[in-house]
Chains A and B, each alone.
Chain A
Amino acid sequence: MVEFAMHNAWLVPLLPALSFLIIIFLTKPWKKLSALVCVAGMVLSCVIATLAAYGVFTNHEFTEKPLVYSVRWFSMAGLNIDVGVQLDPTSAMMMFMVTLVASLIFIYATGYMEGDPGYSVFFSYLSLFGASMLLLVVSSNLLQMFVAWELVGLCSYLLIGFYSHKISAREAAKKAFITCRVADFGLLLGLLSLQIVFGTLNLTELAEKISHFEQYTTMGILTLIALLVFAGPIGKSGQFPLHVWLPDAMEGPTPVSALIHAATMVVAGVYLVGRTLFLFHEVPTAMELVAVTGGFTALFAASIAITQREIKRILAYSTVSQIGYMMLALGLGSLTASMFHLWTHAFFKALMFLCAGSVLHALHHKADVWEMGGLIKKMPITGWTFVVGGLAIAGVPPFAGFWSKDEILLAAFDTGHYVLFGMAALTAFMTAFYMWRLIFLALFGDEKPENHPHESPLNMTLPLIALAVLSAVGGLVGTPWAPFWQEWIFFGHPHHADPNYLIMIGSVVLALAGIYLAYNLYCADKTRAKAHALAERYRFFWTVSYNKYYIDEIYLWFNHTFIDGAARLFYLFDIYVVDGVFVNGIAAITRLSGEGLRVTQTGRLQNYALVFFLGVLAVAVVLAFTDPSTAAGLTGGVK
């Protein structure tokens, strides 16, 4: 079984793809059946992925030498493109995590989307997304990865804009697509440069060649390539300054936010950098840039999240911030810490999004946390699982987030990046604060009389419970005393840091302080006078944070002034020169010559015979005048 799963891991992306096709072409009219096909495809994938992951994590060889198998997609002189599967601990972990979380979220969605007119279509998109994401995860080749990368982008677009009757959803979908497209262009340039310089895009071959890149290229070029490649993750993973699309992406249905915009797709950027860490590792500048981008984004997004009011928006900024953590860890060279945080984050963030979805479901899409309150009494399962998620993200031991965050802090401290360490620690404090602000406002305190919440059905609460369990214990695979994770997922050599009790205690204190502050401001004080007073006293900072540093406005202004201005110029050029002279002119010439030549087609046999013999004559003349020497002269080269 395990053997079979490992050598047929291509089935993992294929099964959801089949689900997609089946739903689109066959079962679309039957809603329940379509959902069943979608869930069944993903659960089967999950079984295979679990077996394959078991196979990888019981054989230490795979940490040194990944299992790669592929078929040739197409080839020509100097360009061979393979598609295949690369199984190593990182991809096996990712495969397992994605299929598991996706299965749970698909089940949840069967309840959440109940009654939606586009029920079947929604599940077909979900399946397509699952297939694309898993294709990305198993890729042995960067071009294949890029194809999947664009596919997940497409699915993200389709699903954000799923409620296409809402203008805001359509706008958000466009924003996500365009923002990511800008970034992907950089990535594409980077990949093309890699192909040109190193002649391959296969991960294993690239790793081998880049380790002695001096034979192929200079440091300057390699730095440029690394920066170009990094552009893609900045967009896809919502790092500053291209983070703007992610909060808007919450216009999509909540299962989509949980799956795509929290647990899986947005961390694809982290995964890509992790997969190509051999490239970044050779370029110290790029590593610094990755680390600084990550650290800054973490702090920046957290500082926005503390003043937001919409429940999913707070979670979205929190996602941006947590992905910043993962980037930071990568920039510090610690694949271990980064992937560990990716793993734990997937569980607790998916959990919190699904809880938020459950809350929205109960409150008929009233999203402002200030208008909630006391929900935990009416919705105990949603409420308490949310609390587990809150403890995990805040970093309270022994919940999952604590261990992975600790690993990142430790990596920053050990490599001597004290500024980044300080930023990360501050972010940890703010994370605990804003997340518990949300929890105290929404779940505790007084019930609002106008709300009539009710607990969600079983197919929604069961995934919540499963994810809560994973959020609670998911971090125990990588504690300093049992460093299972660290022995399997690493870059270079496994890194055994001694447990640093100072940092550990410090981070717990920060987390508890954040929670306590939130408790003081939003729970203990029923009137929330202190919170309002605080916002009033620091009015300027509050306004800037609440308006997300006006980044959207700045982009809008830039667009209106420069892009639209240039567009207006080009528009005139387009209308008069391109359309007028070139397009219409050439089209007219083409059409006229077509009409002209058509006249020769008389339908008369004699004419045809005449043309035939004239043709013979013409060929003879051409041949007579093109003996080899003139031919060479005419074509500009000799064979």
Chain B
Amino acid sequence: MIPDLSLIVPELAMAVLGLMVLIFGLIIPRGSRHGLGWFAALALLGVTGLVLAGWNNGGNLYGNLYVVDQFSQFFKITFLLAAFLVVLGSMRYVDRHLGGQSEYYSILIFATLGMMVMSSANDFMTMYLGLELMTISFIILVCFRRLEAKSLESGMKYVLLAGMSSAVLLYGLSLVYGITGTVVISEVGKILAMRAPLPLLMLGVVMLVAGLGFKISAVPFHMWSPDIYEGAPTPITAFLAVGSKAASFAILIRIFVVGMFGISLNWELLLAILAAVTIIVGNLVAIPQTNIKRLLAYSSIAQAGYILVGLVTASQDGVKGVLFYAFLYVFATVGAFTVASHFYNVTGSDEIKDYAGLAQRSPLMAAVMVVAMLSMAGIPPLAGFVGKFYLFMTIVENYLWLAFIGLIMSMVSVYYYLRVALVMYRNDPLDSTPIAVSAPVTVTLVVAMAVTLFLGIYPGPVAEVVNNAAHSFFMH
């Protein structure tokens, strides 16, 4: 029987697109390859359109190994939009610092494909394939500045640590397979719903938490992320912070809320503690940072903690909160990192003190940075406020202490976010030449800011969509 390939048209399109970009790079002469960025960006938008066109066609493929539902489609749109914004924001950076445009864009597309596979995978093997496709692509991208020691160092660190975490994850998966006898996640769910958890199974859960915790950089598995975020090319850092994290949340949800739903009482408190520790450590260590990329790295660790909160109750509202937050997080994070990468393009610095007077040099960049950061801090009327509201609403009943920690740490986060704002707005610039913002970067910045504002003021439609997506997910 030939499977219904119409469901995976977007994935097929991405694979073709990645190869096309690679081939174009060989055909087009070296000097005129910067058009590739525009091509890749527009093609990514086209694929987003394909996903949207198939929004209402759900179904299974290959005997339930691959699921296309609104949950996975929502994540795919999130990844594609993130990739689109990152490509737009990185054109200048790639032309100036990296070279190898075709490889860069092509690998970025393959990483996105890996994420898309992850969000749809309903069995451990497919999931792992997607995960590795994404991770290996990222390893290449992280050390793309191949002439710089810092970039190579972080690439090396990423290879080793990611390999280690993958090993642990595989151990966990094999233990779960050994107990349940199946690799299909929905089957695992059915079996575990009827059986009391064995200690061996719980060991598997530990390994899964560790392996996926690494990907979402939850404390104490977060150590890699600041180093690698700092060393990687800044647009890649943005994509790593957004895409890799969101995709890992997608599989985390699928494994835990579908596969482990039956034993949810056993892991709820664990995830709650993990979320709490992640929020606390991420926010506290962000305070003394002086490098903007490290600051954003720690802030993104804290953000992962907030998202984790939505998983704690394993409920539809929680999943809705995760989806909503993952979506808005894309725009805030890409906005902030794009400012950082453009600033680096112009000044060659990532130090916060060099941001002095940015408001005078480029009002747009300063405004986007502030809006993105205030959204991450959860200040209304920005998207982050609504997102945090949805997330924390789900836990106030049973985990009030966690809500309190989230609240207090949000307050702490305002401190280090506003410190950056203070430098940008109140200090006088050392060098007052205005910073010109190129067209694609302007598009990225304006889109990031507009969506962050819009979702904060009128979250209704997106909230509706994520609610349906979360619901479709609970019908399994």
Q: Which residues of A contact B213 (CB under 8 A)?
A: 615
Q: Which positions 585-639 of chain A face chain B at CB distance < 8 Å?
A: 587, 590-591, 593-595, 597-598, 600-601, 603, 605, 607-609, 611-612, 614-616, 618-620, 622-624, 626-628, 631-632, 634-637, 639
- B266 x A71 contact (CB < 8 A): no
Q: Cβ of A527 < 8 Å from any Cβ of B?
A: no
Q: Cβ of B149 < 8 Å from any Cβ of A?
A: no
Q: Cβ of B170 < 8 Å from any Cβ of A?
A: no
Q: Which positions 62-111 of chain A face chain B at CB distance < 8 Å?
A: 71-76
18 A-B residue pairings within 8 Å (CB atoms): A72-B460, A74-B460, A74-B463, A76-B390, A76-B393, A590-B415, A594-B285, A594-B286, A607-B223, A608-B224, A611-B220, A615-B219, A618-B220, A620-B203, A631-B266, A632-B265, A634-B269, A639-B313
Question: Top 8 A-B pairs ranked by shortest CB distance?
Answer: A615-B220, A628-B265, A594-B287, A608-B223, A631-B269, A594-B284, A616-B210, A620-B206
- B223 x A611 contact (CB < 8 A): yes
- A623 x B270 contact (CB < 8 A): yes
Return B32 CB to nearest CB of chain A, in Å: 35
- Cα A594 to Cα B284 in complex, Å, equals 5
Q: Cβ of B459 < 8 Å from any Cβ of A?
A: yes
Pick the residue among B207, B223, B265, B274 that contacts A639 (CB under 8 A).
B265
Binding site for A on B (CB under 8 A): 156-157, 160-161, 164-165, 168, 202-203, 205-207, 209-210, 213-214, 219-221, 223-224, 226-227, 265-270, 272-274, 281, 284-288, 313, 386, 390, 393, 397-399, 412, 415, 458-460, 463
Q: Which residues of B contact A627 (CB under 8 A)?
A: 266
Q: Which residues of A contact B266 (CB under 8 A)?
A: 623, 626-628, 631
- Cα A193 to Cα B210 in complex, Å, equals 48
Q: Which residues of B contact A631 (CB under 8 A)?
A: 265-266, 268-269
Q: Which residues of A contact B463 (CB under 8 A)?
A: 74-75
Q: Which residues of A contact B156 (CB under 8 A)?
A: 605
Pick the residue among B207, B270, B288 that contacts A622 (CB under 8 A).
B270
- Cα A632 to Cα B206 in complex, Å, equals 20
Instruction: Give B218's nearest chain A residue, CB to CB.
Output: A615
Return B285 CB to nearest CB of chain A, in Å: 5
Q: Which residues of A contact B165 (CB under 8 A)?
A: 612
- Cα A609 to Cα B274 in complex, Å, equals 18
Q: Which residues of B contact A75 (CB under 8 A)?
A: 460, 463
- B458 x A601 contact (CB < 8 A): no
Instruction: Give B409's nearest chain A residue, CB to CB.
Output: A590
Q: Which residues of B contact A619 (CB under 8 A)?
A: 206, 209-210, 270, 274
Q: Which residues of B contact A595 (CB under 8 A)?
A: 288
Instruction: Give B205's nearest chain A residue, CB to CB.
Output: A623
- A616 x B227 contact (CB < 8 A): no
- Cα A605 to Cα B155 in complex, Å, equals 12
Pick the residue among A590, A598, A615, A628 that contacts B210 (CB under 8 A).
A615
Q: Which residues of B contact A639 (CB under 8 A)?
A: 265, 268, 313, 398
- A598 x B412 contact (CB < 8 A): no
Residue of B209, B219, B393 with highest tally of chain A CB at under 10 A: B209
Q: Which residues of B contact A626 (CB under 8 A)?
A: 266, 269-270
- A612 x B221 contact (CB < 8 A): yes
Instruction: Give A609's nearest chain B residue, CB to CB.
Output: B164
Given A75-B460, A615-B220, A631-B265, verify A623-B288 contact (CB < 8 Å).
no
Residue of A587, A614, A616, A622 with highest tally of chain B CB at under 10 A: A616
Number of interface residues of A (CB under 8 A): 42
- A74 x B269 contact (CB < 8 A): no
Binding site for B on A (CB under 8 A): 71-76, 587, 590-591, 593-595, 597-598, 600-601, 603, 605, 607-609, 611-612, 614-616, 618-620, 622-624, 626-628, 631-632, 634-637, 639
Q: Which residues of A contact B206 (CB under 8 A)?
A: 616, 619-620, 623
Return A195 CB to nearest CB of chain B, in Å: 17
Instruction: Give B223's nearest chain A residue, CB to CB.
Output: A608
Return A635 CB to nearest CB of chain B, in Å: 6
Return A520 CB to nearest CB of chain B, in Å: 60
- B220 x A614 contact (CB < 8 A): yes
Q: Which residues of A contact B157 (CB under 8 A)?
A: 605, 608
Return B354 CB to nearest CB of chain A, in Å: 21
Given A590-B412, A594-B288, A612-B221, verify A605-B161 contact (CB < 8 Å).
yes
Return B4 CB to nearest CB of chain A, in Å: 36
- Cα A597 to Cα B224 in complex, Å, equals 15
Q: Which residues of A contact B286 (CB under 8 A)?
A: 594
Residue of B165, B206, B227 with highest tally of chain A CB at under 10 A: B206
Instruction: Give A73's nearest chain B residue, CB to CB.
Output: B460
- A591 x B285 contact (CB < 8 A): no
- Cα A626 to Cα B266 in complex, Å, equals 7
Q: Which residues of A contact B203 (CB under 8 A)?
A: 620
Given A75-B460, A619-B209, A637-B398, verify A597-B284 contact (CB < 8 Å).
yes
Given A74-B386, A609-B161, A635-B399, verify A597-B223 contact (CB < 8 Å).
no
Q: Which residues of B contact A603 (CB under 8 A)?
A: 227
- A71 x B460 contact (CB < 8 A): yes
- B220 x A73 contact (CB < 8 A): no
Residue of B160, B209, B269, B393 with highest tally of chain A CB at under 10 A: B269
Instruction: Give B402's nearest chain A residue, CB to CB.
Output: A635
Q: Which residues of B contact A600 (CB under 8 A)?
A: 223
- A598 x B285 contact (CB < 8 A): yes
Q: Which residues of A contact B210 (CB under 8 A)?
A: 612, 615-616, 619
Given A594-B286, A601-B285, verify A612-B460 contact (CB < 8 Å).
no
- A590 x B220 contact (CB < 8 A): no
- Cα A292 to Cα B210 in complex, Å, equals 71
- Cα A9 to Cα B228 in complex, Å, equals 54
Return B270 CB to nearest CB of chain A, in Å: 5
Q: Which residues of B contact A598 (CB under 8 A)?
A: 285, 288
Q: Which residues of B contact A74 (CB under 8 A)?
A: 386, 458-460, 463
Return B181 CB to nearest CB of chain A, in Å: 22
- Cα A167 to Cα B455 in complex, Å, equals 40
Return A26 CB to nearest CB of chain B, in Å: 15
Q: Which residues of B contact A594 (CB under 8 A)?
A: 284-288
- B269 x A635 contact (CB < 8 A): yes
Instruction: Give B219's nearest chain A residue, CB to CB.
Output: A615
- A608 x B281 contact (CB < 8 A): no
- Cα A76 to Cα B320 in complex, Å, equals 12
Q: Which residues of A contact B270 (CB under 8 A)?
A: 619, 622-623, 626
Return B131 CB to nearest CB of chain A, in Å: 17
- Cα A627 to Cα B198 in complex, Å, equals 12
- Cα A628 to Cα B267 in complex, Å, equals 9
- A612 x B214 contact (CB < 8 A): yes
Q: Which residues of A contact B281 (CB under 8 A)?
A: 597
Residue of A73, A76, A590, A595 with highest tally of chain B CB at under 10 A: A590
- Cα A50 to Cα B224 in complex, Å, equals 65
Pick the residue among A71, A597, A612, A632 that contacts B161 (CB under 8 A).
A612
- Cα A71 to Cα B463 in complex, Å, equals 14
- Cα A422 to Cα B414 in complex, Å, equals 59
Return B331 CB to nearest CB of chain A, in Å: 19
Q: Which residues of A contact B458 (CB under 8 A)?
A: 73-74
Return A629 CB to nearest CB of chain B, in Å: 9
Given A603-B227, A623-B205, verify A612-B398 contact (CB < 8 Å).
no
In the complex, besides A591-B288, A608-B224, A639-B265, 17 extra interface pairs with C-beta distance below 8 angstroms are A71-B460, A72-B460, A74-B386, A74-B458, A594-B284, A597-B284, A609-B161, A611-B220, A611-B223, A612-B164, A612-B165, A619-B270, A620-B202, A622-B273, A623-B205, A627-B266, A628-B266
Pick the residue among B160, B287, B397 that contacts A591 (CB under 8 A).
B287
Instruction: Give A607's nearest chain B residue, CB to CB.
Output: B223
Given A72-B460, A605-B157, verify A637-B207 contact (CB < 8 Å).
no
Return A533 CB to nearest CB of chain B, in Å: 62
Instruction: Give A589's nearest chain B residue, CB to CB.
Output: B284
Return A233 CB to nearest CB of chain B, in Å: 26
Return B330 CB to nearest CB of chain A, in Å: 21
- Cα A480 to Cα B345 in complex, Å, equals 77
Instruction: Give A601's nearest chain B residue, CB to CB.
Output: B226
